[in-house]
Structure 1
Amino acid sequence: MKRKHQDGQGQQPTITPIHVAPSIATHSQAQPTPSHTPFAPIQHPASQPPEQPTQNAATTSQFWSSPGMDAFVDWMTNPHNYAKFNNKKTGKKMVAIYDEIANYVSSKQGVAWTREQVKSKIQYCEEKYDSARALTNATGGGGTDETTLCASMLAICPYYDRFDAIYRGSLIKNPLPMRHSKEDIITRPPIIPEALTDSGSRHDTKRARYSKDSEILKILECLESIQQAAQNAQAQDMSMAARYIERERTSNDLLARRQRTQEDMFNRRLQDLLDEKEDFKRQKEDFKKEKEYFMKEKESFMKQRELFQKEVEAFWEQRDALFGQNIAMKTLLETIVVPRIQTK
């Protein structure tokens, strides 16, 4: 919102621009940065060039690229987490917050941090953010190269835009100083221009900016809650899909087990029949052997019977012979011996 002012001599009205947080992303000659684009700074006078990266750039780069920093920055730039971090009414001690950050980093990236390491990294990030923001505070309005300023800010704090989106909405951090510039560009939704009140007082302007920043923070919280709800719904869908797959797998296992049981029963029954068949064959062989033995015994008995009959026939023949001899002797006695006895 812009407000017109007229001087006391009746000159043409001029437009007094209202300072807003700069946005480097809208500059036509801005160079690409590695996944982070800070807010474009205001133009600077030629007499005060921005601070160039020092020899500590390598150390700073190693700090921001160290293991666990991605998860750490995600936690610190979460509106809920930052509000909990700065709210003294939550009832949590700082050691509990440090433990929560360490556990989050460990769960996301598998890096173990101590409380002192977490505290040191928080202080270091705040110092680097303040140093990067101090570049925009020290330059004022002018035509200094914004690309050079952007490179300097990124060299100091690569996550400047993410920290600035959170720190600007917090009253704990010192707000950016009020400055006027000839070319103020508003492109990013999170950056709301400072509007003067009817009285034109700077106090009311700051209050309006804080009010709108609070509304932005609420919107971010709503967006995060919606995103969290979507993630929960997706997780629930994945859980339901996993349960469905597990149910299908269990059903297939039961069906396969039932088929295996039926096959096992059929195989056992078939094996029993084969065993019975083998037993029948063995019994048949045994019966055949017994029959052969019986036939041999019968033949032996018949031979013995024939021999006995022959003996009987021989006996009867001997008997008949003896009976004939007996008759002959009797006849001899009657014809010869008895008459001789009678004659004597």
Structure 2
Amino acid sequence: MPCDLIAALDIGGTKIAGALVDGNGTPVVRARRATPAREDGATVMREVAAVLREMTATEDWARVAAVGIGSAGPVDASVGTVSPVNIPGWRDFPLVAGVREITGELPVTLVGDGVAMTAAEHWQGAARGRTGALCMVVSTGVGGGLVLGGRVHPGPTGNAGHIGHISVDLDGDPCPCGSRGCVERIASGPNIARRALDGGWRPGPDGDTTAEAVAVAARAGDPVAQGSFARAAQALAAGIAATAALVEIEIAVVGGGVAGAGEVLFAPLRRALRSYATLSYVQRLEVVPAQMGTDAGLVGAAAVAAQERGLDRFRAPRPEGRGLLRESR
């Protein structure tokens, strides 16, 4: 039987999703559990184990060549641990070791969820065929990943490209990460909503105070709602431009729930980017919406594991050369 599937996990603060992904990026088996994010680490791991066991019980498991994990971070792929900000019970938690207890001798690759999303967009989405890209998830937090030289570049610990914690306001509000004025502190969904409420915006009769509701108000012409999105767009533009100046990316792909606001976000983002991306070699930088949707984490986790194993059918065409991804130890 051919080993032509990758087992993928996408672990976040609300869900633990699993899938067996084929060479076309299609999940052929799925499993899912809610994340008990406020429980202790062992309880969270039991839900991860339940997802894995649901997949190992299928006939298709015999076709699995490797396991890929995309997790909320920070992660440390060099030692196989995770410390997600939104899962307090996991601090330096040995996730890879726990997964190996269930999956046996299969190779396991761990990256942050932003890197996984980047791998998906580069394999089959908006960054396909690009040699330099920044892919971002703008949602409850702001994460990201890099494509350099035509290959996903997670860095030694699996966190490279984490644009959410670039400081774009030196005297800005404290960020939970310990720094100040981070992109995430300004551009994440909860902070867009917080800023709109602080500025005098009030929700409709349904009482919805999410960034999605702020986006609806912005589309309807509410100046406070529009201003909150413009401020978020400015922070994103500053972070994207700084990244482009540093590593010469050619495209920035923006996904996540906040990106669902559409032109409410992208129009001011493109305008702001013209003010920040001024050097000659970054002026042609494109900013586009992500294409991979809710399966990006799973498809990307499969892609990074497959790239590590040299399984070319799981990858978009790229320049010749050795991959930059590496297996967690």
TM-score (norm. length: structure 1): 0.22
Larger fraction in strand: 2
Larger fraction in helix: 1
TM-score (norm. length: structure 2): 0.23
- Quick check: which has more Rg, 1 or 2? 1
